[in-house]
A and B are shown apart, each in its own frame.
Chain A
Amino acid sequence: MNGNSQERAVIRSLPSGVPGLDTVLGGGLPEYSFNLIAGGPGSGKTTLAHQIMFANASVERPALYFTVLGEPTLKMLRYQRQFSYFNPELAGSAIQFINLSAEVMERDLGEVLQRIIGEIERAKPGIVVVDSFRTIAGQPRSSDKGSGFDLDQFVQRLALQLTTWEVTSFLLGEYAAEEQRSPVFTVADGILWLTQATDRNSVVRKLQVVKSRGRAPMPGLHTFRITDDGLQIFPRIPEQTRKRVLKKRERLSTGVRGMDEMIGGGVISGDAVMLTGPAGSGKSTVATQFMVAGLAKGETGVIAVFEEYPEEYLARANNRNPEVGEMINAGKLEVIYLRPLDLSVDEALFAILEAVERLGARRVVIDSLSGFEVALAPTFRADFRESLYRLVGTLTATGVTVFMTAEVSEAFSEARFTTEKVSFITDEIIVQRYVEMEGELRRVMAVIKMRGSDHTHQFRTYEVTSKGVVVGGPLTEYDGIITGVPKLRAKPAKAKRGK
């Protein structure tokens, strides 16, 4: 041994088996680490431990799952085996469940430790889980003084033994945030903290890596969901961590006749475009046309729908553009339905990014931001601007062009160009509105922002036809369009002859 850095012990990473968690952990679980999974009742501790165990256990290096008090083993098995990761073939061989309730209730900490070590010596496991460690720590034992063990020593010796036996271990316990003085928090190499918070009618689950020795985990709280497949983490990816793809600044057709001309030849690729307007103004129609124009050029795309069920959305889109259905079947277009009302921005971003990467998409439609805001759990609505900034920034960093719609409420005498909350995140803003002309409700649109490009400053009329939106001419003969009640400009009186 000469201290050469090449001789340093390499800490391998184990896959957690939990989608998104390895990213949060900075690459996976450090092998032979002694970890604490803490959280309140129902926060997902047991499910997380099972997922990790099933992902790593083998007959050669089995996993030992020690159950103590709390959830009876029979019930735990009954519920856990409902998850898709639970492979009954592994139970009994690669995964062995051992109940310690007798030792914990009737004997002292020394004997509990001896039983655990004895089982480890016998099975030579790679993974050990103690569920729930808290019940070992909290169980009153008058005989503990006799064994010469207190809880601190127990934890210390358990950690040492587990590391010596080259075991990656997880202690599960119900802890509150103010209990972090417990000795186990000091000894643990890694601490995963799970929480679930109720806000009005929605429940949001979050995971935090409080501690991870030898690793650089992603800071912050990461939302997660528990489905039939177990936990899925949605890492809170800061926008700047993704490498930005340099914009090509190509012009992309909107597919709307007359609209490309208004914006200087088309949408700039890699930009974030926002189309705002009142209900029924044709925003979704334009968004679909934008997507179809890309598909017609052989591009792929993703549409994230927040306001309608996908069947309704597609039925309507197919009416005008029969190729939409064909493109979905051909794997060129994916429609993502996100409407759970307890959504997190990270979950939405994850779903969209995953589809973008899977399809190699060039265009993304988000229809609509208003629906997206409503679909978010109330706790995330307060951070909507910041979250949307991150979402749009992350998406455009991949090089895709993002076309978003947003509904603005409109009084006819007052023009609202954008939802003031989110206009700063966009490169291009196009507004639609209703006006009254000659006793009829007419639609007009205008371009109010086009970063780095010329665009028309005229209001243009448009129609929503059976084939889609068609832009008409400018309203050069009218004044006061912005008021919603334009007036025909008076023609200058002709000079009378003979005067």
Chain B
Amino acid sequence: MSAASSVGDLMNTPDRGKNSLSRDQSAERQIARRLIEGHRSERAEGHTSARAAAAACDQLYRELSRWVGPDGCHALFTRALAQARTEYPALGQIQLRARSEPYIDGVAETIMAHGDPATAEGLEAMLVHLIELLGRLIGDDMAMKLIERSLAASDRGDPTSDRREEA
């Protein structure tokens, strides 16, 4: 099954959209994990789950910026981070750097302070909120289209996704 079709299947489950605010986030979570997975598998030795999650965020920021502009994309991430912080206080040191590479800053400090698993979980939660927010704003199917591009880029091994390692 291709990445795109699996995302489509996930976003189009029958009970989705009935109650956007209270629905369970399992579909968004699976998509977020697919995004992160694409960056984990090809990482160099010693790469952590949190860094893979941050790389997935960086790439999604780049891809979404093409469509909705860097400012529109930054606004989405800002809201998603704020929501994720209420559940994962470990994200307190994470900063979003609009129009910068890498986009997600403070990952190393957060890993140092809270450990890799907590940081990774927090960043994954941010992605989940972002996907959910995007779906509420433009519809799940359109959100899926945008995210597909990011998944396709990570499947291609987009060289820009290596920037996080260099940072």
Contacts and interface: CB of A to CB of B under 8 A. Distances in A.
Contact of A72 (B69, B99, B142, B145): B69
A146 to B, nearest CB: 21
Contacts of B69: 67, 72-73, 99-102
A74 B66 contact: no
B71 interface: yes
Contacts of A100: 69
Nearest to B69: A99
B148 interface: yes
A77 interface: yes
B138 A99 contact: no
Contacts of B138: 74, 77-78, 81
A67 to B, nearest CB: 7
A97 B138 CA distance: 13
Contacts of A101: 69-71
A197 interface: no
A239 to B, nearest CB: 45
Interface in B139-156: 139, 141-142, 145-146, 148-149
B72 A78 contact: no
Contact of B65 (A78, A92, A99): A99
A81 B140 CA distance: 12
B112 interface: no
A480 interface: no
Interface residues of B, number: 19
A74 B149 contact: no
Interface string A60-84: 0000000100001110011001000
Interface residues of A, number: 16
Contacts of B67: 73, 97-99
B44 interface: no
Contacts of B146: 92
A241 B70 CA distance: 52
A283 B137 CA distance: 53
Nearest to A104: B69
A91 interface: yes
Contact of B141 (A73, A88, A98): A88
Contacts of A102: 65, 69-70, 99
B68 interface: yes
A77 B142 contact: yes
A81 B71 CA distance: 21
B137 A78 contact: yes
Nearest to B138: A77
A102 B70 CA distance: 7
A74 B68 contact: yes
B138 to A, nearest CB: 5
B68 A99 contact: yes
Contacts of B137: 74, 77-78
A92 B148 contact: yes
B149 A72 contact: no
A101 B69 CA distance: 6
Interface in B32-77: 65-72, 76
Contacts of A91: 142, 145
A81 B138 CA distance: 8
Contact of B145 (A67, A92, A98): A92
A90 to B, nearest CB: 9
Contact of B72 (A74, A92, A98): A74
A439 B93 CA distance: 97
B72 A72 contact: yes
Nearest to A69: B69
A283 to B, nearest CB: 50
A78 B66 CA distance: 17
Interface in A140-193: none
A100 B141 CA distance: 24
Contacts of A99: 65-70, 72
Contacts of A98: 66-67
A27 to B, nearest CB: 33
A91 B8 CA distance: 14
A72 B71 CA distance: 9
B150 to A, nearest CB: 11
Contacts of A67: 69
Of A67, A81, A92, the most chain B CB neighbours within 10 A belong to A92
A78 B148 CA distance: 18
Contacts of B139: 81, 88
Contacts of B71: 72, 101
Nearest to A93: B145
A73 B146 CA distance: 12
A81 B65 contact: no
A120 to B, nearest CB: 15
Contacts of A72: 68-69, 71-72
Interface in B120-167: 137-139, 141-142, 145-146, 148-149
Given A74-B138, A77-B138, A99-B65, A88 B145 contact: yes
23 contacts: A67-B69, A72-B68, A72-B69, A72-B72, A73-B69, A73-B72, A74-B137, A77-B142, A78-B137, A78-B138, A88-B139, A92-B148, A92-B149, A97-B67, A98-B67, A99-B65, A99-B66, A99-B68, A99-B69, A99-B72, A101-B70, A102-B65, A102-B70
Q: Which 7 A-B pairs have the closest CB atoms?
A: A99-B69, A92-B145, A73-B68, A101-B69, A88-B141, A77-B138, A97-B67
Given A73-B72, A102-B65, 13 more contacts: A72-B71, A72-B72, A74-B68, A74-B76, A77-B138, A78-B138, A81-B138, A88-B141, A88-B142, A92-B148, A97-B68, A98-B66, A101-B69
